[in-house]
């Protein structure tokens, strides 16, 4: 607290990002980064972009990137084009602009009570009325619970940190039940086996879908995210962005992102690898007695019937394995474990075997 602060800063409750510890030899499975590197073509494109042209401002409209995204999702088949795409500095920034530009209404914004913990932070930042909706007993989002007057709906699909995936039919039901409010589907983790709601954008003017290059394209360090929706919604985001920072993405990021989006071969191979590793990790955790929720993401959410989550997390940390545990009602005994490499999984399972064999 400082006398120099604006009054509203005193009441802000900021997001606490997952830890990025600096120690060497850690098995780091806490922030859902991709275990392998990005597309070599993206790396080459970024290296090529490091030249004298960096004295120039980047394209404020990121036209090439928007075009690459529109092509990747075949928006033309739905009557769309690059004007259906918004890009930002990570999907966190895209989400912030969506909260600011689309969710400030008299009726409350709805989101699940176990979900991405940035949502209440944005709602606090922009003074947005909001209500949370409990997940069902299987930790799933039930569309019927959202069929009431609202000023918007947002949820990740798959949800975070549970990993549970909602089928497109359930999303269509949500869209049909709330035709007068924006439904934002945060698809940070959709590429690990889910069906994207981008396919529905042409038919639903109230749908906005966000995605990121941080997870499936292994570019968390680049900070690139995007939204897809009809121009009416995209214009709201552009207005907010242009009142805030007209150059959200630098030249290097734009060049790398274009190449990453176009490299479908690398993308597909990496998706398959993560899905395969997720399935094998699930089996191995189940063999150790864990309950593992079905995951559509690049992480699993698991709890052991005999061991408290915080104690397990601490015992793993003592063995240099870092996973995420949320001190929240209902999920405090779960570990959220990022899908890693076979070596990382061996280290994790070995550490767990040791912990479960002794007293934690």
Judged by the rule CB under 6 A, the positions of this chain that interact with ligand PMP are 90-92, 116, 156, 160, 186, 188, 212, 214, 220, 225
Q: Cβ contacts of residue 261 below 8 Å, gap of 6+?
A: 65, 68, 69, 72, 213, 217
Instruction: Give the residue with the Cβ less far from ligand PMP, 112 or 309.
Output: 112
DSSP 304: B
Beta bridge partners of 48: none
Q: Distance between CA 135 and CA 156 in Å, rounded?
A: 13
Instruction: Give the residue with the Cβ less far from ligand PMP, 227 or 315.
Output: 227
For the CB of residue 94, give the shortest distance to ligand PMP in the complex, in Å. 8
Contact 70, 205 (CB under 8 A): no
Instruction: Give the residue with the Cβ less far from ligand PMP, 124 or 202.
Output: 124
Instruction: Give the residue with the Cβ less far from ligand PMP, 115 or 282.
Output: 115
For the CB of residue 16, give the shortest distance to ligand PMP in the complex, in Å. 12
Instruction: Give the residue with the Cβ less far from ligand PMP, 222 or 352.
Output: 222
Contact 109, 130 (CB under 8 A): yes
Apex 357 CA angle, 354 and 360, nearest 5: 80
Apex 113 CA angle, 109 and 115, nearest 5: 90
For the CB of residue 280, give the shortest distance to ligand PMP in the complex, in Å. 23
For the CB of residue 160, give the shortest distance to ligand PMP in the complex, in Å. 4
For the CB of residue 226, give the shortest distance to ligand PMP in the complex, in Å. 9
Compute how many other C-beta atoms are within 10 angstroms of the C-beta atom of residue 305. Answer: 8
Apex 95 CA angle, 90 and 98, nearest 5: 135
Instruction: Give the residue with the Cβ less far from ligand PMP, 181 or 212.
Output: 212
For the CB of residue 90, give the shortest distance to ligand PMP in the complex, in Å. 3
Q: Distance between CA 225 and CA 210 in Å, rounded?
A: 7
């Amino acid at each position: 607290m400082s006398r120099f602060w604006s009054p509203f800063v005193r009441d802000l409750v900021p997001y606490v990002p997952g830890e990025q510890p600096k120690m060497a030899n850690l098995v780091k499975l806490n922030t859902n980064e991709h275990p392998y590197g990005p597309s070599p073509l993206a790396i080459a494109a970024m290296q090529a972009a490091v030249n004298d042209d960096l004295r120039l401002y980047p394209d404020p409209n990121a036209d090439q990137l928007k075009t690459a995204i529109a092509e990747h999702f075949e928006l033309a088949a739905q009557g769309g084009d690059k004007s259906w795409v918004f890009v930002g500095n990570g999907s966190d920034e895209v989400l912030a602009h969506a909260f600011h530009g689309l969710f400030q209404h008299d009726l409350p914004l709805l989101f699940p009570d176990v979900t991405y913990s940035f949502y209440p932070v944005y709602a606090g930042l922009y003074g947005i009325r909001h209500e949370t909706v409990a997940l069902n007993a299987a930790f799933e989002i039930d569309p019927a619970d959202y069929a009431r007057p609202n000023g918007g709906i947002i949820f990740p699909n798959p949800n975070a940190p549970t990993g549970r995936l909602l089928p497109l039919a359930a999303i269509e039901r949500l869209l049909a039940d709330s035709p007068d409010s924006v439904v934002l589907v945060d698809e940070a983790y959709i590429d690990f086996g889910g069906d994207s709601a981008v396919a529905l954008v042409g038919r639903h003017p109230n749908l906005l879908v966000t995605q990121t290059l941080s997870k499936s394209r292994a570019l968390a360090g680049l900070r690139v995210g995007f939204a897809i929706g009809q121009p009416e919604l995209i214009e709201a985001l552009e207005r907010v962005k242009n009142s805030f920072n007209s150059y959200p993405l630098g030249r290097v990021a734009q060049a790398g992102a274009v190449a990453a989006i176009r490299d479908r071969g690398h993308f597909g191979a990496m998706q398959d690898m993560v899905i395969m590793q997720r399935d094998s990790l699930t089996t191995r955790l189940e063999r150790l007695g864990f309950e593992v929720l079905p995951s559509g993401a690049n992480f699993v959410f698991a709890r052991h019937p005999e061991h408290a989550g915080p104690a397990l997390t601490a015992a793993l940390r003592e063995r240099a394995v870092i996973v995420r545990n949320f001190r929240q009602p209902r999920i405090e005994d779960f570990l959220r474990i990022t899908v890693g490499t076979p070596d990382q999984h061996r280290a994790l399972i070995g550490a767990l075997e040791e912990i479960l064999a002794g007293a934690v």
